[in-house]
A = this chain, B = another copy of it.
Amino acid sequence: MILRHASTLNGAVSIVLASASPRRREILTKTLGLTNVVVVKSAFAEDLDKSKYDGAAAYAEATAWKKAMDVCQNWSSYSDLPMPDVVISADTVVESASGTVMEKPGDASEARAMLRALSGSTSRVHTGVAIVTPKVRVDRVGELCGKVFSETTRVEFAELEDEEIDAYIATGEPFDKAGGYGIQGPAAAFIRGIVGDYFNVVGFPVHAFTRELEPMVGDILERA
């Protein structure tokens, strides 16, 4: 786990979050106590061809990896700071019961279609996470070291009336969120329950992240 390492990491290690999501930043800083996080929004277009990936989770992993790699490989174009010790990125997608992969809705009618598809059904939220340590390279091939993984949470929506969907869209909540909703806001009332990690639905799988980071902490501290 990470809790007992938090103060050491905060003092010794520079962490970049390659995601503009304020929710991910809050999870890292407030929930996990990693206060020394710099946010950099990756310029990666997030336009991978979904049909080339074996499922929505693999697609989210690939996008997360590309975002982290972009920031590491083009670091000097993002910041005047020295290369960070750790670069973290994530990508969240929602997969409807019928298998449609939903990202952020472009407008109200797209948000309405997404929320209608989620109403009364169990969908899945996949978050891919990449953890890259850009100061560590695999000697033989010169590639950056890191790992990528994903976490899936099932989400059961109650039946939503159109009037409720419209009131929700009017709040503006859907537009920066995969699937057109944020479980941490008013849409909490729409959701009967989940199976899995709640924070994965918000956009960052806290438990899986700490489990995956734990064995890397020694190496990270050594190179920092």
Contacts and interface: CB of A to CB of B under 8 A. Distances in A.
Copies of this chain assembled into the complex = 2
Contact of A186 (B3, B193, B196, B209): B3
Interface in A97-124: none
Nearest to A204: B188
Contacts of A171: 3
A148 to B, nearest CB: 19
Nearest to A188: B206
A199 interface: yes
Interface in A134-181: 153, 158, 160-161, 163-164, 167-168, 171
A4 interface: yes
A32 interface: yes
Interface in A34-93: none
Contacts of A27: 188
A190 to B, nearest CB: 7
B153 A189 contact: no
B31 A186 contact: yes
A220 to B, nearest CB: 17
Interface of A: 1-4, 6, 27, 31-33, 153, 158, 160-161, 163-164, 167-168, 171, 183-186, 188-199, 206-207, 209-211
